[in-house]
Amino acid sequence: MAKKGFHLYHRLPGLVPESCLLIIVGVLVGCIIFGTDHKSPPVMDTNIYFLYLLPPIILEGGYFMPTRPFFENFGSILWWAGLGALINAFGIGLSLYFICQIKAFGLSDVNLLQNLLFGSLISSVDPVAVLAVFEEARVNEPLYMMIFGEALLNDGITVVLYNILIAFTKMHKFEHIEPVDILAGCARFIIVGLGGVFFGIIFGFISAFITRFTQNISAIEPLIVFMFSYLSYLVAETLYLSGILAITACAVTMKKYVEENVSQTSYTTIKYFMKMLSSVSETLIFIFMGVSTVGKNHEWNWAFVCFTLVFCQIWRAISVFALFYVSNQFRTFPFSIKDQCIIFYSGVRGAGSFSLAFLLPLALFPRKKMFVTATLVIIYFTVFIQGVTVGPLVRYLDVKKTNKKESINEELHIRLMDHLKAGIEDVCGQWSHYQVRDKFKKFDHRYLRKILIRSNQPKSSIVSLYKKLEMKQAIEMVETGMLSSTSFSMPPQTQRIQGTTRLSPEDVASMRDILTRNLYRVRQRTLSYNKYNLKPQSSEKQAKEILIRRQNTLRESMRKGHSLPWGKPAGTKNIRYLSFPYSAPQSASARRDARLAEFTVHLKFIGGQPFSFGYPRNTSQEERTGRARRLASRPKPLFHALDEDYESEEESEEEVSPLASRWSGEHRNRREHHKSHGPLLQRK
Amino acid sequence: MERHPAFKPCICLFQVSSDQIEQLHRRFKQLSGEQPTIRKENFNKVPDLELNPIRSKIIHAFFDNRNLRKGPSGVADEINFEDFLTIMSYFRPIDISMDEEQVELCRKEKLRFLFHMYDSDSDGRITLEEYRNVVEELLSGNPHIEKESARSIADGAMMEAASICVGQMEPDQVYEGITFEDFLKIWQGIDIETKMHVRFLNMETMALCH
């Protein structure tokens, strides 16, 4: 069922937020079930929801959280998510209570507690749909983080509140509740929240510690990750602490250390499996929602529903503007009114509210159906109307965009800036953000990493970024190789012809010239295109188009793990990152050899056997662009340099292997390459 | 070569509030040991600075004549409190109430400060060697990274920079180094205003031009 829903929704355009599609699917399924048989449709109960459906969603949220921006905005996020949920819950609850007192609406049997409970469940926001839109629109980082943080923490807080209020309801009637109980409730709220986080962190450390030793049994690494996260959830729930916050904290803690410990395949597995699980859960929940929409379990009460809708919006607006007014005083870069409007508008409800409404115990809530109906209406309204229009709204309001692009320069500058700021703060003797962060980092390096990480090699983000870009470049090069090989695989004789006729003598001469001059192994960004298509501009453009698209898809798939919104390829400029080879003696068929050599380079990646020679990489770019740069000339031979480079990159070899299946075409070419590799080597 | 007039009437640079001046003065006294000037050795009193990988560059920046607006190059031996304030004012957060032009001016000043950190020989260009130096220092805290990696990272970054600044180059063209204009180009679009500030150096408006 879920799979079918999936399949459908992947094909539809990405304009509509995910939730919309899922709901529609759910409704369709509901209709089918309702239409075909009158048996009661599959129903969701407390256990299924809380034990199986909710944890994966939360886990994914916590795991893919971008830690640095999160902690930079931590104060604001906590203030907003925590207090926002509380204000909304109590505000809506109280307002609805006053409405219920009005006899005309026929709602006087709904008492205060029930209203408060309803308020708490309806204030559970699920802005995941909005986040996707934000990512598309590349909104500025703090704004993104606020919504993200809210998504992350809101579930936990609302569920805690919900449980407390249910406990109250189960107690006695409203009149018997004393102030002491209320205080106890507040205390419980804090304990439950913090306790959950505490347990989550402990479990995160435990699992990180265990992964330190799992070198030889890497197949169970994903299992450990999932098991411990789930365990943290269960343990927290057993102790009446907040399982959601526990699992969030566990994911956040775990991620940093586990990522360094596990093997590449495990890492990929974890990423994809997590995403899959959470998508499945969400789909199921939405389907349940759709199913229960279509049915006879409704009670429609105009007043209640309308006022709920109105109050939701009003209270959200109040909480946004009030809370941000306060937190802006403490922020160096306050949120503008535009930002606040967007935050207000992104209060999209979702599966969370529905589940909590559905799980209201009927015995305590004789008018449960009304609540469910109201919840459903709110969800539909916010998802369809707000969810769909938030994108255009963002563009209309011209919200400040982020302009992050992944480049080495930027990474370098940011690091420099960090150290510079820390240094200046030290000089001034002031404590501040960066001091705290620095101190934490030092503590981390000195103690935590030694304990939790397998081979304690502190990785620099600059180096990892560099390696990542290198890897991307390598993949792209192979992609082009792939592309040209597939496009030319049809007429094999034309390949041969094209291989030789496209080289004009002056091209070769200039190429050789450039290569001999440029001894230094420099990297250059040049325009990328299918290197075999020189002449006809149109087909080159086509090839470029295809290339760009494939690069985009590849980058998307590589970036699935990234939850940062930036990272869309610079499609407009179409710049790629290529490397020049050490100059090798060139001949008429140099280009073909170069191409073959490139395959061997990447075969090396796949085959995993380090070569001990330097060899030419993709040289043919030069002949078109002919740009070489003389930054420095290194007279000594570069074999050693290349050696070291490859040894240091050995661990990144593995990254290529998951994608190896895409290059099954390589195997075909392998044989002929080994043959040509011989003469290539001899030429050296 | 850039020329710095002795005291440019800069709008953003001298606006530090009086409490902050008090605080900084106290700190200055502490560092200088009650002397009117600070020398490079005095910075050893800052213990946490030891662990900073770009320590030498930071300290050098305090004594750099270009930052102190005393000349196009050279290093001062000692700085007084006024100079100390001058350097600190580079880290003032940009006030939103300032208009476009002022923001632009402030941004340029901050970027100039950064440029001077990279350009250690004051020739107005960041050459590959200087860039490599910076990268090596940045990665110096990490014993596992070989020099080769640092060099290739610097090369890669230089390439990137060159491609942003100059675009496609002729085969004979040699890229000399990053000038200040190129540097501005690289940083275009990245909000340095939001990044280069020290939190407490906040607020207003008391313009304090000596």
The CATH number of residue B85's host domain is: 1.10.238.10
Compute how many other C-beta atoms are within 10 angstroms of the C-beta atom of residue A682. 7
A381 and A447 fall within a common domain: no
A-B interface: how many C-beta pairs under 8 angstroms? 167
This prediction's pTM: 0.61
Question: Does the structure show a pLDDT above 50 at A333?
Answer: yes
Chain A residues with CB inside 8 Å of B200's CB? 428, 430, 432
Q: What is the DSSP string of A173-225?
A: -GGG--HHHHHHHHHHHHHHHHHHHHHHHHHHHHHHHHHTT-STTGGGHHHHH
For residues A334 and A420, state if they share a domain: no
Handedness of CA A189, A191, A195, A198 (dihedral sign): positive
- Chain B residue numbers touching A334 (CB-CB < 8 A): 96
Give how far A626 is from chain B: nearest CA, Å: 6
B139 touches A: beta carbon within 8 Å: yes
What is the predicted pLDDT for the residue at A597? 39
Chain B interface test: which of A68, A333, A402, A413 (most B C-beta within 10 Å): A413
- Work out how many domains chain B is built from and give that number: 1
Q: Answer yes or no: do A373 and A448 share one domain.
A: no
Residues A184 and A328 in one domain: yes
Q: Measured between CB atoms, which of B162, B164, B202 is closest to A629? A: B162
Q: How far apart, in whole angstroms, are the C-alpha atoms of residue A605 and residue A379?
A: 49
Query: Of the candidates B67, B100, B105, B66, which has an alpha carbon nearest to the alpha carbon of residue B84?
Result: B67
Residue B21 sits at the chain A interface (C-beta within 8 Å): no
pLDDT score at A528: 35
Q: What is the pLDDT of residue A37?
A: 66
Query: Which residue's structure tokens are 């090989």?
Result: A485
Q: Higher model confidence: residue A577 or residue A192? A: A192
Whether residue B80 is contained in a domain is answered as yes
Same domain for A443 and A344:
no
Q: Which of A163, A166, A135, A136 is nearest to A148 (CA)?
A: A135
Chain A CB contacts of B187 under 8 Å are 413
Helix axes A179-211, A141-170, angle to 10 degrees: 130
Please tell me the distance from the alpha carbon of residue A657 to that of residue A265, in angstroms, as a whole number.
Answer: 8
- H and E: helices and strands count for chain A: 31, 2
If asked whether residues A435 and A294 sit together in one domain, one would say: no
| Residue B30 to residue A43: CA distance in whole angstroms | 71
Under 8 Å between Cβ of B24 and B88: yes
Any domain includes B210: no
List CB contacts (< 8 A) between B145 and chain A: 460, 463
Return the minimum-mean-pLDDT range out of A141-150, B68-77, B164-173, B187-196: B164-173
Domain for residue A33, yes or no? yes
Q: Are A409 and A466 in contact (CB under 8 A)?
A: no
In the structure encoding, which two tokens stand for residue B99, read together? 């208009």
Indicate whether A111 and A248 sit together in one domain: yes
pLDDT reported for residue A24 = 79
Q: How many CB atoms lie within 10 A of CB A565?
A: 22
- Taking alpha carbons only, the member of B75, B119, B68, B104 closest to residue B89 is B68
Cβ distance A420 to B117 less than 8 Å, yes or no, reads yes
DSSP per residue, A358-377: HTS-TTT-TTHHHHHHHHHH
Phi, psi angle pair for A429, to nearest 5°: 70, 30
The pair phi, psi for residue B125, each rounded to 5°, is -135, 145
pLDDT > 80? residue A398: no
Flag whether pLDDT at A51 surpasses 70.
yes
Tell me if A281 sits within 8 A of A53, measured CB to CB. Answer: yes
Treating both helix axes as pointing N-terminal to C-terminal, what angle do A408-428 and B55-63 enclose, rounded to 10 degrees? 70
Q: Which of A73-82, A492-501, B70-79 has the lowest mean pLDDT?
A: A492-501
Residues of B in contact with A468 (CB under 8 A): none
Least reliable range by pLDDT among A123-137, A207-221, A227-241, A299-313: A123-137
- Kindly indicate the confidence band of residue A177, based on its pLDDT and cuts at 50, 70 and 90: low
Contact B43, A427 (CB under 8 A): yes
Average pLDDT, whole number, for chain A? 67
* Whether A413 and B189 lie within 8 Å, measured CB to CB: no
* DSSP at B120: T
- Cα distances (Å, whole numbers) of residue A671 to A482, A496, A596, A600, A677: 16, 17, 11, 11, 10
Of B138, B155, B194, the CB nearest to A522: B155
Report pLDDT for B173.
59
Chain B residues touching A407 at Cβ < 8 A:
160
Q: Are A96 and A375 in contact (CB under 8 A)?
A: no
Q: What is the pLDDT of residues A510-547, one digit of tens each?
A: 555 555 444 433 333 333 333 333 333 444 455 555 55
- The encoded tokens of residue A105 equal 């609406």
Contact in structure between B53 and B137 (CB atoms under 8 Å): yes
What is the extent of the structural domain holding B54? 17-201
CA distances from A642 to A476, A622, B152 (A): 20, 20, 11
Q: Do A645 and B152 touch (CB under 8 A)?
A: yes
**Gap between the terminal Cα atoms of chain B:** 26
CATH code of residue A363: 1.20.1530.20
Band (A494; pLDDT cuts 50, 70, 90) = very low
Highest mean pLDDT among A252-266, A645-659, B135-149: A252-266
Contact A424 B117 (CB under 8 A): no
CA A222 to chain centre: 18
**Residues A481 and A595 sit within 8 Å (Cβ to Cβ):** yes
Higher local confidence (pLDDT), B194 or A249? A249
**Chain A interface test: which of B149, B170, B200, B203 (most A C-beta within 10 Å):** B149
Q: Which of B25, B39, B52 would you mutate first to test chain A, the one with the most A CBs within 10 A? A: B52
Domain with A234, as residue range(s), is: 1-397
Class of residue A671 by CB neighbours under 10 A (exposed 0-12, middle 13-18, buried 19+): exposed
Residue that terminates a domain, selected from A348, A369, A397? A397
Give me the amino acid identity at B34: E
Which neighbouring-strand residues pair with A579?
Answer: A523
User: For A436-484, how does the pLDDT look when each residue is reduced to its tens digit (9 = 90+)?
Assistant: 666 777 777 777 666 666 665 555 666 666 777 777 777 777 766 654 4
ipTM: 0.83
Q: Across the interface, do A403 and B191 touch by the CB < 8 Å criterion?
A: yes
Contacts with A175 (C-beta within 8 Å, 6 or more apart), sequence order:
none
CA distance A195 to B123: 58
Contact A546, A484 (CB under 8 A): no
The DSSP string of A393-426 is HHHHHTPPBP-----HHHHHHHHHHHHHHHHHHH
Kindly determine whether residue A416 and residue B161, on different chains, have CB atoms separated by under 8 Å: no
What is the per-residue pLDDT for B185? 77
Tell me how far apart the alpha carbons of residues A556 and A546 are, in angstroms, rounded to a whole number: 15
Q: Using the beta-carbon criterion (under 8 Å), do B159 and A629 form an inter-chain contact?
A: yes
Mean pLDDT of A239-256: 85
B210 touches chain A (CB under 8 A): no
Q: Is residue A543 part of a domain?
A: no
Tokens standing for A353?
A: 């509210």
Among A488, A480, A419, CA closest to A621: A480
- The full length of chain A comes to 684
Lowest mean pLDDT among A434-443, A544-553, B182-191: A544-553
Whole-number pLDDT of residue A667: 41
- Look at residue A69 in the predicted model and tell me its pLDDT: 77
Nearest by CB: A630 against B117, B139, B174: B174
Record: contact A625-B199, CB cut-off 8 A: no
- Mutation pick from A260, A410, A424, A573 vs chain B, by most beta carbons of B within 10 Å, is A424
A221 and A259 Cβ atoms separated by less than 8 Å = no
Same-domain status, A431 and A298: no
For residue A339, give how far its alpha carbon lies from the nearest alpha carbon of chain B (Å).
15
Provide mean pLDDT across the span A548-554: 60
What is the rounded distance in angstroms from the CA atom of residue A204 to the CA atom of residue A253? 5
- When pLDDT is averaged across residues A52-65 and rounded to a whole number, the result is 83
Residue percentage of chain A with pLDDT more than 70: 57
Report if residue B1 sits inside a domain.
no
Q: Please tell me if residue B161 touches chain A, with a CB cutoff of 8 Å.
A: yes
Does a structural domain hold residue A583? no
- Tell me, yes or no, if B196 comes closer than 8 A to chain A by beta carbon: yes
Q: According to the 3-state scheme, what is the secondary structure of A438-493? A: HHHHHHHHHHHHHHHCCCCCCCCHHHHHHHHHHHHHHHHHHHHHHHHHHHCCCCHH
The closest CB to that of B171, out of A410, A575, A628, belongs to A628
In this complex, is the C-beta atom of B48 within 8 Å of any C-beta atom belonging to chain A?
A: yes
Helical H runs in A518-619?
537-558, 590-603
Q: Chain A residues with CB inside 8 Å of B23's CB? A: 428
Chain A residues in contact with B138 by the CB 8 A cut-off are 412, 415-416, 419, 460, 462
**Residue B209 placed within a domain:** no
| Residue-level pLDDT at A636 | 36
Distance CA A647, CA B148 (A): 11
Residue A598: per-residue pLDDT? 40
Tell me whether residues A514 and B171 touch, CB distance under 8 A.
yes
Given A403, A525, A645, which is nearest B160 (Cβ)? Answer: A525
pLDDT of A55 > 70? The answer is yes
- Highest mean pLDDT pick, A141-155, A313-327, B34-48: A313-327
Q: Are A150 and A190 in contact (CB under 8 A)?
A: no
A360 and A444 share a domain? no
Domain shared by A373 and A422, yes or no: no
- Does A427 sit within 8 Å of B49, measured CB to CB? yes
Closest approach of chain A CAs to the CA of B196, in angstroms?
7
pLDDT of residue B206: 31
A369 and A428 together in one domain: no
CA–CA min distance B4, chain A (Å): 23
Number of domains present in the structure of chain A: 2
Q: Are residues A451 and A329 in the same domain?
A: no
CA distance B122 to A227: 58
Query: b/e per residue, A388-400, with b = 16+ CB within 10 A?
Result: eebbebbeeeebe
| pLDDT, position A537 | 42
How large is the average pLDDT for residues A133-145? 77
The B residues from 166 to 185 touching A (CB cutoff 8 Å) are 168-171, 173-175
Highest mean pLDDT among A247-261, A448-462, B58-72, B83-97: A247-261
pLDDT at residue B100 tops 60: yes
Residue B43 lies in a domain: yes
